[in-house]
Amino acid sequence: MVSLVLHYRRIARLALDVLLGAVETDPATAHVPVERAEGPDALVAVIRRHAATGRRPVVGWSFYSASFPEVAAELARVRAGTAGLDALHVAGGPHASADPEGTLAAGFDLAAIGEGEATLPALLAAVAEGRAPGTVPGLAWREGDRVRTSGRAAPVDLDAVPPCAPRAGRIGPLEITRGCVWACRFCQTPFLFRARFRHRSLESVRRWVRFHARLDARDVRFLTPSALSWGSPGAGCDLEAIEALLATAREEAGPARRLFFGSFPSELRPEHVSERALALVRRYCDNDAVIVGAQSGSERLLAEMGRGHGVEDVRRAVALARDAGFTVSVDFVFGLPGETGDDRADTRALLRELADGGARVHAHAFMPLPGTPWEAAGPGRIDPETGALLDRLASRGRAHGQWKRQQRLGFSAGKGDPSESL
C-alpha cells in the first residue's frame, strides 16, 4: 500500500499542485491517499502517521536550484525525524532534473528527470504493486556508488493534464505554454522542457478558466515563458491567436474576475510588443502593469546569451507600453559571464534612460543553473558602480528585485566570495 505526501514550500506550490492534479485525475492513482505538509516538522508528523497505517509514504519535493542547499538541510532533518520508517523521498523540479546526481547525493532516494505529470502517478502505481521504481521512466537512483537512470520522461501534452489540482480545489496561474524556442544561455526552461513551444489548446484554456470561475477565483493569470508567443510555433507573434485566447478567457472569466496577461508570470518579449498587442491587453485584461524581458543593455551580451532581440527592441517596447498607459517593469540580469566594463556601462546607461522614462528595473543577479550552457560559470558579481546605481534607483522606487539575495545565494553555493564583488 502506498500514500503520497507532498512537501509544500512556498516557491514550489504551483508545481506541486499540478503534480497533485495529475495524481488525482489518473485512474490508476485517483484513490491514493494524499496529504500536504508545510515545513520539516509537519512533514515528519505526516510521514509517521502514514507509516503507522501500513502504507509506504512517497514524499514529493519540488525545488529550484536557488533553494537546493535549504532543501537538502530540510531533508536531513526529516530523515532524522523519521529514522527507521520506509518513506521514499523523490525530488522533482528544475534542479533535480538537471543535476540528478547532486540531488541524490543530498539524500533523496529518487530524482525525477524531465516532466513529472506522468512520472509521479506511475511511481505511485509501481510502489503500490511492489515493483522497483526503476521500472518507471524518468527517474534516477543510486545503486552502490553508481547513479542509474530509467531515462528522461517524455514531454507531456498540456491538454492531457490539468493546470491545477481540481479535486483539491487548488488553482494557480494557468499554464498555457511550456518549453521555449529561444535558448538564453542562463535559463533552464528550454533545456528542461525542450527548445520548442507546447501550447495548451484554446478549448483547454476555456475549460480551465471556466473551472477557475466556478471556484470563484478572483483573478485569472497565465503561466508562460513568453505571453505573446501563444499560438505560434516559433519566434513569431500571432495576434489573431492572442485575441482569440484573451476573448475566450474573458468570456469564461466574466466581468467580475480580473484577467492578467503580460504581467507576472507571463512576461512579454520586447520584439513582440506592438500597439495592437497592447490594445488587446487593454481591451480584455485588467492589468495596468506589464513586464518586459530585456536582461542587458549591451548588444554584445544580448547576442552572446542568445536572446534573439536587441537593445532597440527594449527601448521601443517600453515606450509603446508606457504610451499605452501601462506601468512597465523591465527584467535585467547582472553579473553575466564574460561581462566587460563596456557591457556594464551600456547597461547602466539603459537603466538610467528607462528609469528616467518612468519604467522600473526588475533586477536579478546571475546564478549559474545546472543544465544550462552557463552552469560552469561563476556566480554573478555585481560591480560597485552598477550596485550603487541599483540602490539609487531602488530608493526612488525605480528598481526592485532580489539581486542582493541572489548574489549571496550564488556564492553560498560554494562558488566564490561575495565580498570580492562589493
Provide the binding-site residues for ligand SF4, judged by CB under 6 A: 180, 182-184, 187, 189-190, 225-226, 293
> From CA 88, how far away is CA 56, in angstroms rounded?
8
Residue 224 CB, nearest distance to ligand SF4 (Å)?
9
Q: Which of these, 188, 189, 158, lies nearest to 174 by C-alpha position?
A: 158
Indicate the burial class of 84 (C-beta count within 10 angstroms; 0-12, 13-18, 19 or more).
Answer: exposed
Residue 185 CB, nearest distance to ligand SF4 (Å)?
9
Residue 339 CB, nearest distance to ligand SF4 (Å)?
17
Those residues whose C-beta lies under 8 Å from the C-beta of residue 44, and which sit 6 or more positions away, are 77, 78, 81, 82
Cα Rg of the chain, angstroms: 22
State which residue, 78 or 180, has the beta carbon closest to ligand SF4: 180
State which residue, 75 or 361, has the beta carbon closest to ligand SF4: 361
Strands 219-220 and 258-259: parallel
CB–CB of 203/58 below 8 Å?
no
> From CA 279, how far away is CA 363, in angstroms rounded?
27
> From CA 222, how far away is CA 369, in angstroms rounded?
24
State which residue, 66 or 180, has the beta carbon closest to ligand SF4: 180
State which residue, 82 or 226, has the beta carbon closest to ligand SF4: 226
Residue 227 CB, nearest distance to ligand SF4 (Å)?
11
Residue 187 CB, nearest distance to ligand SF4 (Å)?
3
State which residue, 124 or 192, has the beta carbon closest to ligand SF4: 192
State which residue, 179 or 387, has the beta carbon closest to ligand SF4: 179
Residue 297 CB, nearest distance to ligand SF4 (Å)?
16
> From CA 187, how far away is CA 195, in angstroms rounded?
11
> From CA 7, how far away is CA 5, in angstroms rounded?
6
> From CA 270, how far away is CA 421, in angstroms rounded?
30
3-state helix, strand, coil in the chain (%, to 5): 45, 15, 40
State which residue, 82 or 295, has the beta carbon closest to ligand SF4: 295
Residue 335 CB, nearest distance to ligand SF4 (Å)?
16
Cell representation of residue 250: 474573458
State which residue, 88 or 330, has the beta carbon closest to ligand SF4: 330
> From CA 136, how far away is CA 272, in angstroms rounded?
41
Residue 306 CB, nearest distance to ligand SF4 (Å)?
8
